[in-house]
Amino acid sequence: SAIEELQTLVLTTLEEKGSISNTKELCAPNGEDLDQLALLGALKSLSLEGEEMVHYDSIEGEVWVLTDEGNEIADNGSHEAKVFEAIPIGEKGIEIPELQAQAAKIGQGKAFKNKWITKNGNNVIRAVDSIVDQTRIDLQIIRSTGTHSDPKVLSELKKRKLCDKQKKFSYSVTKGPCFSLTIEKQARDITVEMLQSGEWKNEKFKKYNFDALGILPLGGHLHPLMKVREEFRQIFFEMGFEEMPTNRFVESSFWNFDALFQPQQHPARDAHDTFFLKDPATSTQFPEEYLKRVKEVHSVGGYGSTGYGYDWKIEEAQKLILRTHTTAVSSTMLYDLAQQKEFKPVKYFSIDRVFRNETVDATHLAEFHQVEGVIADKGLTLGDLIGFMDTFFGKMGVKNLRFKPAYNPYTEPSMEIFSYHPGLGKWVEVGNSGMFRPEMLEPMGLDPEVRVIAWGLSLERPTMIKYGIDNIRELLGHKVNLSMIQNNPICRLDK
Ligand code: PHE
């Protein structure tokens, strides 16, 4: 390797001459100047503590280097020489405007001062037969030797910004106590083979460098969705919400649909929209009395409702599915709330994954995350829902909401929430909301006075807007680029 070649060069030179007074004098085998930085690496590894093959000291020197303009002149000549060259030989010379069109204006003063050119009426003519472009020659000398014998030339050219001084290090080297011509290969780690053969006893081991910087750990990066989730959680906590336990992806159709007064023949319950489990395919554990009341409200009605009037089947409710919305969790939480002796108002939220049997495209995945909020209290109104949405979205920096009537089997009224997006230049849907129906709440055993307002939104949409991602497959799934996750900044919503 290059470093070994440098080490051999140093060692053989030391063997030959006893010492090296300045590594500037060393030449690479190909005759080129040595890269002193690479040489330093070689010297460092030859002078490790306790096994010093060599000792070295650095010598600070200076070298003159050309600027870009200096290099240009060394290659193509000075401005004044270019002016001279632009003037044709003879009495006629060239008219001043034409000369200026051909050669740089800056060289003219100097060419006159050097008495290379002179005026003849309105024309400029050559005043001498030939010139010596000393600036170019001086620059070429500096470029090839790193200096110039005349310090005045150096300072003059520096003033003209054609060259400059730089620090340059080289080294003096002497033999160390462990000097030898051959570099012993040192083992880095003890191996099973060394232990088995006993070879480890004779092996020379490389010293550990405890000052070396560690490798940056590759793990431990939060996904952008988790960063935005954390911001949303903080908003909910700030507003006094409790987090619902969402740690079960598998749910029965009963809690996902039936408890929510979603009829059994509703298209969402089709295998084209919902993932059904094969094994186990069903669940049979339901609160018995409640199940009866759910069956009743679907088939014959009650609580002031006529119901749907169809033949409700337990088999349909027993089917296990991957939950299609986190409202499945909200329904179990509200049922639990209804079982308490005394009603107390609650504010619940959840942010977790849901599943839909959808064709995957740039904006749809078969799984995504929902943010869901639920508030239960006596006497809540639609005005509370609208006012609350203004506060909640306002805390995320989403202002000027508009509400559009919508339909959900479990809410009445239902409203889609829109916000004007200045970047996209249009109104975008930011969430879905509504007041849970009495047909859902009263069979649970909740006081008819209790009103529940609820809303849901996806976590993906605000995350994609926040992080400027326009294809959902770049955010979630097997096509995600891991560096996107490693390099994403933390999330701060513009509140
Ligand atoms: N569950 C609804 C959805 O999946 C969202 C929603 C939640 C709507 C609560 C109204 C009330 O889109």
**Residue pLDDT, tens place only, 437-446:** 999 999 999 9
Q: Which residue from 251, 321, 327 has its CB within 8 A of the most atoms of ligand 1, so it is best to mutate? A: 327
Residue 424: pLDDT above 80? no
DSSP 128: S
Q: What is the dihedral of CA 22, 28, 31, 37, to 10 degrees?
A: -70
Q: Identify the residue whose C-alpha is closest to ligand 1 atom 9.
A: 455
Ligand 1 atom nearest the C-alpha of 373 is 9
Domain presence at residue 331:
yes
Mean pLDDT value across residues 421-445: 91
pLDDT of residue 207: 78
Residue 273: domain span: 225-487
Instruction: Using the mean position of ligand 1's atoms as its centre, give its distance from the Cα of residue 456 in Å.
Output: 5
Domain presence at residue 40:
yes
Domain presence at residue 149:
yes
Please calculate the CA angle 210-212-214 and round it to the nearest 5 degrees: 105
DSSP 266: -
Q: Nearest-CA neighbor of 317 among 301, 297, 337?
A: 297
108-157 residue pLDDT tens: 889 999 999 999 888 899 999 999 999 999 999 999 988 999 999 999 99
How far apart CA 368 and CA 249 sit, in angstroms, is 12
Residue 29: pLDDT above 70? no
Instruction: Using the mean position of ligand 1's atoms as its centre, give its distance from the Cα of residue 286 in Å.
Output: 23
Instruction: Using the mean position of ligand 1's atoms as its centre, give its distance from the Cα of residue 341 in Å.
Output: 28
440 plus 472 within the same structural domain: yes
How far apart CA 457 and CA 373 sit, in angstroms, is 9
Domain presence at residue 425:
yes
Ligand 1 atom nearest the C-alpha of 325 is 4
How far apart CA 103 and CA 80 sit, in angstroms, is 9
DSSP 229: H
58 plus 123 within the same structural domain: no
Domain presence at residue 494:
no
Residue 495: pLDDT above 60? no
Q: What percent of the chain has pLDDT over 90?
A: 63
| Higher pLDDT pick, 339 / 167 | 339
CATH number of the domain that residue 17 is part of:
3.30.1370.240
373 plus 325 within the same structural domain: yes
Mean pLDDT value across residues 455-476: 87
pLDDT of residue 186: 78
| Higher pLDDT pick, 3 / 269 | 269
The partner residues of 452 in beta bridges, in order of sequence, read: 376
Ligand 1 atom nearest the C-alpha of 324 is 4
How far apart CA 390 and CA 384 sit, in angstroms, is 10
**Residue 384 — very low, low, confident or very high, per pLDDT cuts 50/70/90?**
very high
**Residue 494 — very low, low, confident or very high, per pLDDT cuts 50/70/90?**
low
Q: How many domains does the chain have?
A: 3
**Residue 331 — very low, low, confident or very high, per pLDDT cuts 50/70/90?**
very high
Q: Of 114, 132, 150, which residue constitutes the final position of a domain? A: 132
Instruction: Using the mean position of ligand 1's atoms as its centre, give its distance from the Cα of residue 1 in Å.
Output: 66
Instruction: Using the mean position of ligand 1's atoms as its centre, give its distance from the Cα of residue 432 in Å.
Output: 6
Q: Of 201, 217, 234, which residue constitutes the final position of a domain? A: 201
Residue type at position 211: D
How far apart CA 34 and CA 26 sit, in angstroms, is 7
18 plus 124 within the same structural domain: no
288 plus 397 within the same structural domain: yes
Residue 335: pLDDT above 90? yes
How high is the ipTM of this complex? 0.97
How far apart CA 98 and CA 6 sit, in angstroms, is 57
Instruction: Using the mean position of ligand 1's atoms as its centre, give its distance from the Cα of residue 300 in Å.
Output: 25
Ligand 1 atom nearest the C-alpha of 330 is 9
**Count of H helices and E strands in the chain?**
18, 15
Q: State the DSSP H helix or E strand holding residue 378, giving kind and residue range, or none if neither.
A: strand 367-378
308 plus 366 within the same structural domain: yes
Number of CB atoms found within 10 A of residue 89's CB = 9
Q: Nearest-CA neighbor of 225 among 495, 433, 488, 494?
A: 488
247 plus 324 within the same structural domain: yes
User: Rounded mean pLDDT of the chain?
Assistant: 91
DSSP 241: -
pLDDT of residue 455: 96
Q: Nearest-CA neighbor of 374 among 348, 402, 405, 338?
A: 348
Instruction: Using the mean position of ligand 1's atoms as its centre, give its distance from the Cα of residue 342 in Å.
Output: 27
197 plus 333 within the same structural domain: no
Domain presence at residue 72:
no
**Residue 428 — very low, low, confident or very high, per pLDDT cuts 50/70/90?**
confident
What radius of gyration do the chain's Cα atoms show? 42
Q: Nearest-CA neighbor of 297 among 166, 133, 409?
A: 409
Mean pLDDT value across residues 94-116: 85
Q: Of 88, 112, 132, which residue constitutes the final position of a domain? A: 132
Q: Nearest-CA neighbor of 29 among 46, 6, 52, 47?
A: 6
Ligand 1 atom nearest the C-alpha of 374 is 9
Predicted TM-score (pTM) of the model is 0.60
**Residue 75 — very low, low, confident or very high, per pLDDT cuts 50/70/90?**
very high
Q: Which residue from 408, 416, 429 has its CB within 8 A of the most atoms of ligand 1, so it is best to mutate? A: 408
Would you call the peptide bond into 413 cis, given omega within 30 degrees of 0 as the criterion?
Answer: yes
Q: 3-class SS at 57?
A: strand
Q: Identify the residue whose C-alpha is closest to ligand 1 atom 2.
A: 456
| Higher pLDDT pick, 185 / 243 | 243
154 plus 249 within the same structural domain: no
Instruction: Using the mean position of ligand 1's atoms as its centre, give its distance from the Cα of residue 138 in Å.
Output: 81
Domain presence at residue 220:
no
412 plus 441 within the same structural domain: yes
Cα-flanking dihedrals φ and ψ of residue 262, to 5°? Answer: -95, 115
Q: Which residue from 332, 348, 353, 432 has its CB within 8 A of the most atoms of ligand 1, so it is best to mutate? A: 432
Domain presence at residue 207:
no
| Higher pLDDT pick, 328 / 217 | 328
pLDDT of residue 31: 66
Residue 103: pLDDT above 80? no
Mean pLDDT value across residues 176-195: 88
Mean pLDDT value across residues 283-307: 97
Cα-flanking dihedrals φ and ψ of residue 178, to 5°? Answer: -105, 25
Cβ-based neighbours of 259, under 8 Å, separated by 6 or more? 294, 331, 332, 335, 440, 444
10-19 residue pLDDT tens: 999 999 999 9
Instruction: Using the mean position of ligand 1's atoms as its centre, give its distance from the Cα of residue 440 in Å.
Output: 14
Q: Identify the residue whose C-alpha is closest to ligand 1 atom 8.
A: 433
Q: State the DSSP H helix or E strand holding residue 109, giving kind and residue range, or none if neither.
A: helix 106-113
Instruction: Using the mean position of ligand 1's atoms as its centre, give its distance from the Cα of residue 370 in Å.
Output: 9
Instruction: Using the mean position of ligand 1's atoms as its centre, give its distance from the Cα of residue 374 in Å.
Output: 10
CATH number of the domain that residue 477 is part of:
3.30.930.10
**Residue 468 — very low, low, confident or very high, per pLDDT cuts 50/70/90?**
confident
Q: Which residue from 325, 356, 451 has its CB within 8 A of the most atoms of ligand 1, so it is best to mutate? A: 325
193-240 residue pLDDT tens: 999 999 999 888 887 878 888 887 766 788 899 989 999 999 999 999
The answer to whether residues 170 and 147 touch, using CB atoms and an 8 Å cutoff, is no
Burial 292-307 (b: 16+ CB within 10 A, else e): ebbbebbbeebbeeeb
Pocket of ligand 1 (CB under 6 A): 325, 327, 372, 408, 411, 432-434, 454-456
362 plus 415 within the same structural domain: yes
Q: 3-class SS at 184?
A: coil
Q: What percent of the chain has pLDDT over 70?
A: 98
pLDDT of residue 120: 87
118 plus 162 within the same structural domain: no
pLDDT of residue 493: 67
Structure tokens that stand for 74 in this block = 């060394």
How far apart CA 439 and CA 262 sit, in angstroms, is 10
